Amino acid sequence: MSLNATPTPGSKLLSPTDHALLMIDFQSQMSFATHSIDAITLRTNAALVAHAAAGFKVPTILTTVAEKSFSGPMFDEVTEPFPGQALLDRTSMNTWEDAAVIREVNRIGKKRLVFAGLWTSVCIVGPTLSALDQGYEVYVIADACGDVSAEAHNRAMERMIQAGVQPMSSLQYLLELQRDWARTDTYELTTGIARKFGGAYGLGIIYAKSMFNAHEG
């Protein structure tokens, strides 16, 4: 059978309107014991994801665990793009077992969910496997997650992938939402986020723009 290619995106690619994002337990107490990724990189990647979601108007759930009594406030980098949005505080380690979070998941009504947070082996494994079990399509932004060791993070990622979770990276998330530089309405948004949080790629954008007035696409 011959194939007939068409210039259309694959169904597994994310778009701004087809999913919800859950950012889980980006809190100081959780970060103190995180060693699979350094704190600066973790905060930068979490900020990139949060700003991308807010900029592209992706429905986003921000949830904490024992914020007042133990784990502390959520990173400013995560909450700042969502001014005034309530944080859903939990007692359960597994976000999916919290009724308030699930009410919000149901209110948003997306069957495709993207997760990022601390720690990978507990607070990400729990809700992703639970969501898969209930028929959701699940993605995890691996470099916007962290755990007590590289071993713990890597084994958690492997366990989720074997169950059907699709892994991705923070910069990949941003660029997948943009996906075409001809989309001029979000061009400055995307390159602005990349310049601020995109590491060496962001430096490249700054250099090309400053030296040559270059433009993606």
pLDDT digits (tens, 9 = 90+) for 88-100: 999 999 999 999 9
- Spell out a b/e string for 187-208, using b for 16 or more CB atoms within 10 Å of the CB, else e: bebbbbbbeebbeeebeebeee
CATH class of 20-179: alpha beta
- Burial class of residue 83 in the structure, from the number of CB atoms within 10 Å of its CB (0-12 exposed, 13-18 middle, 19+ buried): exposed
Could you read off the pLDDT of 25-62 as tens digits, one per residue? 999 989 999 999 999 999 999 999 999 999 999 999 99
Nearest to 58 by CA among 134, 123, 141, 165: 141
The model carries a pTM of 0.94
8-22, 23-37, 62-76: the lowest-pLDDT one:
62-76
Domain limits, CATH 3.40.50.850, in the chain: 20-179
Q: Closest Cα partner for 167 from 58, 46, 11, 14?
A: 14
DSSP 27: B
Q: SS3 for 81-106, per residue?
A: CCCCCCCEEECCCCHHHCHHHHHHHH
Which helix or strand (DSSP H or E) is residue 174 part of?
helix 170-178
